[in-house]
């Protein structure tokens, strides 16, 4: 879940909002962590207690809802995965000078090879853990080098000079939105964690996933804050890359390439795995051959990028679709939690249900606002 969340968009959002809000962006991060926890603890606990993926569980709540949710996740995940493949190509270009198309194709081939291994699930887990460690180490390095004003960051995290609700909901969507909402829970189900007895383990795993993603966010925030506090301006064409170059000099560009590649390729893996887990609920062939479905998803994502480049319109459409995935999925999960027969007698805490419902309402409001803005822009 954590390495799926930390993708090219995640890195860019963090740098951009730090440049706009300065130390006050810490408050947005704090709010987002609370919303992230409400969403992930709700989804992971209920899905594991029910022992079912999100699609079939949503269908049990309301016939047809699971199919709608599945196609929203698959289409949104495919469009964003094209961007992830592009990000992997850009990362290898910055790291070793490889042309972007070649780097994208090589990264996609690595993801496919990972899923073709005899024990693909364990290989995916180990790859994600190793890449997550690399990302945390690189972020820590640049954060220390940038020498951020820690006292100011701590103060404005609780007493911000400026509050931007859009920043909060944007980074919540970037951390637990779209397919990421279900990535970790579906992996736990695949690993055999099912039933009410598995809920404590799911709780710890969800908290760890949100914690790791938040550590990366905080580290990049501090690095960017140190750069902008010194009077530098971030390059609007690639804000996170500018943070690395300004903090570390010439080597920073190559290190950013490594970070971008690790973030992008793990997001390719996470998006393909989670989207295929939903695809199996609507296409019998995908259910019969899940590994082939994952590989086909990666290959299709890479083919679209190599054929037409980064499809901006598709990415915009995916943003609109993914905006509905979190509130729709959360609503289905919360309704399922109220039916003991679906969740094996598990009782969802009232406070967590309220927090999950609040998160769903906030994200639904943003989705409506985004749709209205897009319609008026036409």
Q: Which domains does the chain have, with CATH numbers?
A: 2-377 (1.20.1740.10)
Confidence (pLDDT) at 310: 57
Number of residues in the chain: 378
Q: pLDDT-based confidence at 217, cuts 50/70/90?
A: very high
**Which helix (H) or strand (E) is 371 found in, with range?**
helix 350-377
CB neighbours of 347 closer than 8 A, spacing ≥ 6? 340
CB neighbours of 372 closer than 8 A, spacing ≥ 6? none
Average pLDDT, the chain: 88
Averaged pLDDT, 41-70: 94
Rg (CA), the chain: 20
Confidence (pLDDT) at 236: 85
Q: How many CB atoms lie within 10 A of CB 109?
A: 13
Residue 310's region, left for phi above 0, alpha for psi from -120 to 50, else beta, is beta
With a cut of 60, say whether residue 378 has pLDDT above it: no
Q: Which residue has the tokens 């070649």?
A: 102
How far, in Å, CA of 340 to CA of 184, rounded?
Answer: 23
Q: How many helices (H) and strands (E) does the chain have?
A: 17, 0
pTM of model > 0.85: yes
Averaged pLDDT, 192-214: 94
Confidence (pLDDT) at 324: 78
3-state class of 53 per DSSP? Answer: coil
CB neighbours of 151 closer than 8 A, spacing ≥ 6? none
Burial 209-234 (b: 16+ CB within 10 A, else e): bbebbbbbbbbbbbbbbbbbbeebeb
How far, in Å, CA of 186 to CA of 278, rounded?
Answer: 9
> CA torsion sign, 289 to 295 to 298 to 301?
negative
């Amino acid at each position: 879940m954590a390495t799926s969340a930390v993708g090219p968009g995640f890195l860019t959002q963090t740098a951009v909002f730090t440049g706009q809000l300065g130390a006050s962006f810490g408050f947005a991060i704090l709010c987002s962590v609370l919303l992230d926890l409400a969403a992930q603890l709700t989804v992971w606990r209920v899905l594991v207690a029910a022992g079912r993926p999100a699609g079939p569980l949503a269908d049990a709540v309301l016939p047809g809802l699971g199919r709608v949710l599945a196609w929203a996740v698959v289409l949104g995940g495919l469009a964003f995965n094209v961007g992830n493949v592009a990000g992997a190509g850009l990362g290898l270009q910055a790291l070793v000078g490889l042309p972007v198309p070649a780097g994208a194709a090589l990264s996609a081939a690595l993801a496919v090879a990972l899923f073709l291994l005899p024990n693909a699930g364990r290989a995916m887990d180990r790859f994600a853990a190793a890449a997550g460690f690399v990302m945390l180490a690189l972020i820590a390095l640049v954060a220390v080098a940038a020498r951020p004003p820690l006292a100011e960051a701590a103060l404005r995290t609780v007493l911000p000079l400026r509050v931007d609700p859009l920043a909060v909901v944007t980074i919540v969507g970037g951390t637990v939105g779209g397919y990421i909402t279900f990535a970790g829970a579906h992996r736990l189900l695949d690993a055999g964690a099912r039933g009410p007895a598995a809920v404590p383990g799911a709780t710890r795993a969800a908290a760890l996933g949100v914690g790791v993603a938040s550590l990366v966010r905080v580290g990049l925030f501090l690095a960017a804050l140190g750069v902008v506090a010194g009077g530098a301006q971030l390059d609007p064409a690639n804000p996170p890359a500018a943070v690395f170059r300004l903090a570390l000099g010439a080597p920073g560009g190559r290190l950013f390439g490594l970070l971008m590649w690790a973030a992008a390729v793990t997001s390719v893996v996470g998006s393909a795995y989670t989207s295929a887990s939903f695809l199996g609920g609507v296409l019998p062939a995908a259910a019969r051959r899940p590994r082939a479905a994952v590989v086909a998803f990666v290959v299709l994502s890479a083919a679209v990028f190599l054929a037409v480049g980064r499809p901006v319109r598709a990415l915009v459409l995916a943003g609109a679709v993914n905006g509905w995935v979190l509130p729709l999925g959360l609503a289905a999960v919360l309704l399922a939690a109220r039916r003991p027969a679906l969740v094996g007698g598990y009782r969802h805490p009232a406070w967590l249900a309220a927090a999950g419902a609040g998160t769903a309402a906030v994200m639904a409001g943003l989705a409506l606002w985004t749709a209205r803005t897009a319609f008026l822009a036409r």
